[in-house]
Structure 1
């Protein structure tokens, strides 16, 4: 009876959260932490925790499909994981290999047009894993409804250092003019991976750090971050909806800040800066408090009044 009541309460909370969400991020990146600690608490082997976490990953794909999220990046194996005991590494490699083949052949992947790609220093992985990567990538190459990026042998610092070395090499060889280097140039030297910048980075397991994960695509985009206590095998749909609500709240706060900065510029500047500030203000005015919106008047036609009291 008690479990039924809890289930009903959970479903009610899920409906409440779903009603509070008006939109979703395009790209979610997930640090799936806590598999080993979950297994220890259950009295199981670490490998059992990895398998339990893989079941949550499958559920996450369903939730992303339901919420029409366009890109998902999973931190499956970091460069630091090479320091783990060999038996744990081998168990992870076995699981990753099996899941890549399973996903590549799954009907829902093909029906949902999911494209699978691996990002990272995949040449460091065992041949059986790289074979599975090639199989999954080849089987889903033509799809684009949901991009599923699996970070394997991945480290954000190593990715940026590698890009810096490659840029330096091409400059020294005369193939690249330093004056032409911009953000797009640097991005072209990164691992082939995410299609979009990260909107939301999510970490389970209680640690509040992003652990060298997608620093260019996440931090450069000022991605929202959601940390939660459940270990990855315990992560539920309500936790995912709470993370998305955090993203929405952050986006609202960002738009309000943009509107207020634009309002300050409208009141302080003229010329080209004034035109740009008015454009931004028209775009984000609805995020200002009602008293500030009313003072501005209707921006749909004509000029915004930067300071009605000035007349």
Structure 2
């Protein structure tokens, strides 16, 4: 199914094609209201629905949501069961909306560790939306970037031992091909809610040149206007990818100093004995 008409905002700058979000703060949101953690998770599901729909409408190419990390299995079993149940309910209830918006669902992570019922619902929803040609919604489930890289390296090693790979030919692109979803481009913008200044083991390989935007808003309070604020901040960034900014590319970098200039440079003195 095709996506509906796109309503891309005018940012007066580049638009992020792939957005990844660390959805943090559900527990703090609930605690601040005197409610149990599960209330925060339920409110967070509503935000997932709203932000997914907004991104699809604005023409985002890919949206990756950090839904459940490999470390989250350490949480109380009752909370884990609740999160898995919320996942099943969300996927079941949102199928019609995903189809209406032309959204294709993909999931990354150690999915084999998910409960059987959750995995079944997930696979069914992936199959149902497989032919949609709008935004790709990627849920990172039982996901950790270190696990992803370790799993990829293990697969590379197996293929090298089996003679399918020449060890001398292995490079970055080789390893990328063994990550969970090598076809999806790296994120342009990573948004983190909840105010913490860290990536939390999320897309470490793919985040090399992503722009970061952190908001103090907890995930249940993250709105479409907050999303647009992140987009506007992104539009003002200058992405260099290790190169020079455009103005320096035009005029060239400053020339290396001559021997005469170096000889006239001030000497630094120190009372300490130099090694």
Same fold, judged at TM 0.5 (above): yes
- Say which of 27, 47, 55 aligns to 1:56: 47
The aligned residue for residue 78 of structure 2 is 87
User: Matched residues in 2 for 1:147 and 1:132: separation?
Assistant: 18
The aligned residue for residue 132 of structure 1 is 121
Q: For 1:85-116, what per-residue CA distance to the aligned partner results, in whole angstroms no more than 9, with x for missing partners?
A: 00000000000111112222x1x321221100
* Pairwise CA distance, 1:172: 2.4
Contact 2:60/2:135 (8 A) holds in 1: yes
Name the structure where helix makes up a greater proportion of residues.
1
The aligned residue for residue 163 of structure 2 is 174
The aligned residue for residue 225 of structure 2 is 238
User: Matched residues in 2 for 1:20 and 1:121: separation?
Assistant: 37
Contact 2:62/2:137 (8 A) holds in 1: yes
User: Matched residues in 2 for 1:21 and 1:45: separation?
Assistant: 42
The aligned residue for residue 145 of structure 2 is 156
- With normalisation by structure 1, the TM-score equals 0.74
The aligned residue for residue 268 of structure 2 is none
Whether 1:225 aligns to 2:217 is: no
Of 18-27 and 109-118, the range deviating more from structure 2:
18-27
Q: 1:253 to 1:168 in 2, by over 3 A?
A: closer
* Pairwise CA distance, 1:20: 4.5
Whether 1:31 aligns to 2:18 is: no
Contact 1:24/1:67 (8 A) holds in 2: no
User: Matched residues in 2 for 1:189 and 1:204: separation?
Assistant: 29
| Partner SS state of residue 117, structure 1 | strand
* Pairwise CA distance, 1:253: 7.1
Q: What is the total number of aligned residue pairs between the two structures?
A: 248
User: Matched residues in 1 for 2:173 and 2:246: separation?
Assistant: 28
> What's the RMSD between the two structures over aligned residues?
2.2
The aligned residue for residue 44 of structure 1 is 35
* Pairwise CA distance, 1:193: 6.3
Contact 1:155/1:213 (8 A) holds in 2: yes
| Partner SS state of residue 251, structure 1 | coil
* Pairwise CA distance, 1:238: 2.0
Contact 1:205/1:229 (8 A) holds in 2: yes
Q: 1:171 to 1:224 in 2, by over 3 A?
A: same
Q: 1:19 to 1:68 in 2, by over 3 A?
A: closer
* Pairwise CA distance, 1:167: 1.2
The aligned residue for residue 73 of structure 1 is 64
User: Matched residues in 2 for 1:261 and 1:112: separation?
Assistant: 43
Q: 1:19 to 1:256 in 2, by over 3 A?
A: farther
Structure showing greater relative contact order (alpha-carbon pairs closer than 8 Å, 6 or more residues apart): 2
- With normalisation by structure 2, the TM-score equals 0.84
User: Matched residues in 1 for 2:93 and 2:111: separation?
Assistant: 19
Whether 1:262 aligns to 2:249 is: yes
Q: 1:209 to 1:267 in 2, by over 3 A?
A: closer
| Partner SS state of residue 225, structure 1 | strand
List alignment gaps of at least 5 residues for structure 2. 1-8, 257-275
* Pairwise CA distance, 1:182: 2.4
* Pairwise CA distance, 1:260: 3.8
